[in-house]
């Protein structure tokens, strides 16, 4: 592997075999690859193909296809059926080989890795943190939410070009997954934003979720840095013994990076008084709500630790923009304002989004289109009912619920809490929701659209914005 300073890290067949405990069974071990990939549909000529076995596919079935298309070589767990003319690396487990190769590139890159986890707001925090670090450093961030046992390695392999900073997400849906990701990324800075009810079908309680999130603390040393939410008692209870330095952030609570006198401005964002070790300032952010303000504070803590001037951070905050379908404000030609938060949802994130809806004082009516929150396990109905009551507290005028029985329970709980039955509509899917919403809204309305990714509520946003759902 080439490691000269300033040069891109080149991957050779021998390097990959050595790091992953495999062997080159055919071809030149010195041959180097410009890129690697796992998708036969997008692999470019000369790239190395990892034949990954997944729940719905097996990359080994596409080996012949990618070689015919010009792949430079393949990584497989069984080399017997690979054409003899190909460069072949045989390993015990292709997914683990990808992870080990990514870790090696991460080590060779010299990048300072910032890893972010939490039940809500990971992607926004990642984007904000990267924007802040870009003010002073060459900074990489993972695309979208490539944050699992395959997506994270693919992201880390992009560190071949040696950025100074790398900001990545660590996601999970079961215990042990964060531990695996930490072992791959070996983060210098760990950011823990919050703990909430998500993926409860894999956990017995929120406390168990917090324990699994706490895996982000593992392998830390005295040189590590932790950025943590001082207003989340579950995080505070699990971080006392962190061996490195700690930065805290919070809203209206003691912390290193703290926001007070918060004023929510509805669709115009928030403003607050900012207090930090580097000084104080008036802060204005176009990102919606107190939850996103907390995400900004987390990113500021990372950037201040890296030496980015406070004045530059305050100025950059004024021009932040949300990631796609994560709190975007869409103003339609019909005069309707849509809060597009359709990418995903869990109970904590839904309540936060409803708080943004409640904070707006300009809308003629507040309308919420709420999709079913998936993967909540046996507590799903109760958690949906809590969100139904939260919708009433947010002074929603009309409510559309989308999905199965838990979503229907959300609407019934809203009625029980005081919302008129005729103000609640339930539909089974996003296509029906799009039509209902389109027939419901008028100029001056503010519409929140939020639900789990599998419900596909982006169709509602597209319909309201004049596109075909």
**CATH assignment of the domain containing 292:** 3.40.1190.10
Within this chain, do residues 208 and 281 fall inside the same structural domain, yes or no? yes
Within this chain, do residues 297 and 375 fall inside the same structural domain, yes or no? no
Within this chain, do residues 366 and 255 fall inside the same structural domain, yes or no? no
Average of per-residue pLDDT values in the chain: 93
Both tokens of 386, joined, read 């809590």
| CA 64 to mean position of chain CA atoms | 34
Does residue 374 sit within a domain? yes
Within this chain, do residues 88 and 212 fall inside the same structural domain, yes or no? no
Closest among 446, 463, 430, 462 to 353, alpha carbons compared: 446
Residue 143, pLDDT > 90, answer no
Within this chain, do residues 251 and 132 fall inside the same structural domain, yes or no? yes
Within this chain, do residues 169 and 308 fall inside the same structural domain, yes or no? yes
Does residue 105 sit within a domain? no
pLDDT at 254: 96
For residue 98, what are the contacts with CB-CB under 8 A and spacing of at least 6?
Answer: 36, 38, 50, 52, 75, 150, 153, 154
Does residue 103 sit within a domain? no
Residue 327, pLDDT > 80, answer yes
Within this chain, do residues 115 and 58 fall inside the same structural domain, yes or no? no
Residue 200, pLDDT > 90, answer no
Within this chain, do residues 196 and 215 fall inside the same structural domain, yes or no? yes
pLDDT at 167: 98
317, 339, 372 — which closes off a domain? 317
pLDDT at 84: 67
Distance, in Å, from the CA atom of 81 to the CA atom of 95, rounded to the nearest integer, reads 19
294, 317, 340 — which closes off a domain? 317
Residue 95, pLDDT > 80, answer yes
**CATH assignment of the domain containing 353:** 3.90.190.20
| Owning domain of residue 153 | 110-317
Within this chain, do residues 257 and 399 fall inside the same structural domain, yes or no? no
Within this chain, do residues 282 and 407 fall inside the same structural domain, yes or no? no
pLDDT at 30: 95
Measured distance between the N- and C-terminal CA atoms of the chain, rounded to whole angstroms? 49
Is the distance from CB of 104 to CB of 1 less than 8 angstroms? yes
Pairing of strands 245-251, 225-229: parallel
Does residue 291 sit within a domain? yes
Is the distance from CB of 258 to CB of 297 less than 8 angstroms? yes
Both tokens of 320, joined, read 């932040």
Residue 3, pLDDT > 60, answer no
State how many domains the chain has: 3
Does residue 282 sit within a domain? yes
pLDDT at 6: 61
pLDDT at 249: 98
Within this chain, do residues 405 and 309 fall inside the same structural domain, yes or no? no
Within this chain, do residues 298 and 345 fall inside the same structural domain, yes or no? no
Distance, in Å, from the CA atom of 430 to the CA atom of 451, rounded to the nearest integer, reads 10
57, 92, 127 — which closes off a domain? 92
Residue 203, pLDDT > 90, answer no
Least confident range from 80-84, 97-101, 123-127, 179-183: namely: 80-84
Does residue 344 sit within a domain? yes
Closest among 196, 203, 178, 202 to 233, alpha carbons compared: 196
**CATH assignment of the domain containing 76:** 3.40.1390.10
**pLDDT (tens digit, 9 = 90+) per residue, 161-194?**
999 999 999 999 889 999 999 999 999 999 999 9
Place of tokens 């055919």: 26
Distance, in Å, from the CA atom of 381 to the CA atom of 407, rounded to the nearest integer, reads 8
């Amino acid at each position: 592997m080439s490691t000269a300073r300033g040069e891109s890290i080149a991957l050779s067949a021998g390097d990959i075999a050595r790091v992953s405990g495999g062997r080159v069974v055919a071809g030149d071990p010195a041959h180097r690859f410009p890129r690697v990939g796992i998708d036969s549909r997008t692999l470019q000529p000369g790239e190395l193909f990892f034949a990954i076995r997944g729940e719905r596919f097996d990359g080994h079935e596409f080996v012949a296809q990618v070689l015919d298309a010009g792949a430079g070589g393949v990584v497989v767990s069984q080399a017997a059926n690979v054409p003899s003319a190909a460069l072949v690396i045989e390993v015990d487990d292709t997914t683990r080989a990808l992870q080990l190769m990514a870790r090696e590139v991460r080590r060779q890159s010299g990048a300072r890795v910032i890893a972010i986890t939490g039940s809500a707001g990971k992607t926004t925090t990642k984007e904000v943190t990267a924007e802040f670090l870009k003010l002073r450093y060459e900074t990489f961030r993972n695309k979208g939410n490539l944050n699992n046992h395959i997506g994270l390695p693919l992201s880390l392999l992009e560190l071949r070009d040696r950025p100074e900073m790398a900001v990545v997400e660590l996601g999970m849906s079961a215990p042990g997954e964060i531990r695996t990701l930490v072992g791959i990324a070996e983060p210098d800075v760990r950011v823990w934003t919050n703990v909430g009810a998500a993926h409860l079908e894999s956990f017995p309680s929120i406390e168990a979720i917090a324990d699994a999130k706490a895996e982000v603390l593992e392998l830390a040393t005295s040189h590590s840095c932790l950025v943590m939410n001082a207003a989340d008692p579950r995080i505070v209870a699990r971080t006392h013994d962190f061996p490195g330095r700690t930065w805290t952030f919070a809203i209206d609570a003691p912390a290193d990076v703290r926001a007070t006198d918060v004023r929510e401005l509805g669709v115009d964002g928030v403003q607050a008084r900012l207090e930090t070790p580097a000084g104080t300032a008036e802060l204005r952010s176009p990102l919606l709500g107190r939850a996103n303000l907390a995400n900004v504070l987390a990113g500021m803590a990372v950037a201040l630790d890296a030496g980015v001037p406070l004045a530059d951070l305050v100025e950059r905050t004024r021009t932040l923009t949300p990631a796609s379908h994560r709190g975007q404000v869409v103003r339609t030609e019909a005069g309707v304002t849509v809060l597009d938060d359709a990418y995903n949802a869990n109970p904590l994130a839904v309540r936060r989004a409803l708080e943004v809806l409640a904070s707006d004082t300009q809308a003629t009516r507040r309308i919420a289109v709420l999709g079913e929150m998936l993967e909540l396990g046996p507590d799903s109905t109760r958690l949906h009912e809590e969100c139904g009551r939260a919708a009433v507290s947010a002074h929603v005028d009309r409510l559309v619920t989308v999905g199965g029985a838990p979503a229907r329970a959300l609407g019934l709980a809203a009625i029980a809490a005081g919302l008129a039955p005729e103000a609640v509509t339930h539909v089974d899917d996003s296509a029906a929701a799009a039509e209902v919403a389109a027939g419901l809204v008028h100029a001056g309305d503010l519409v929140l659209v939020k639900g789990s990714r599998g419900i596909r509520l982006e169709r509602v946003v597209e319909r309201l914005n004049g596109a075909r759902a």
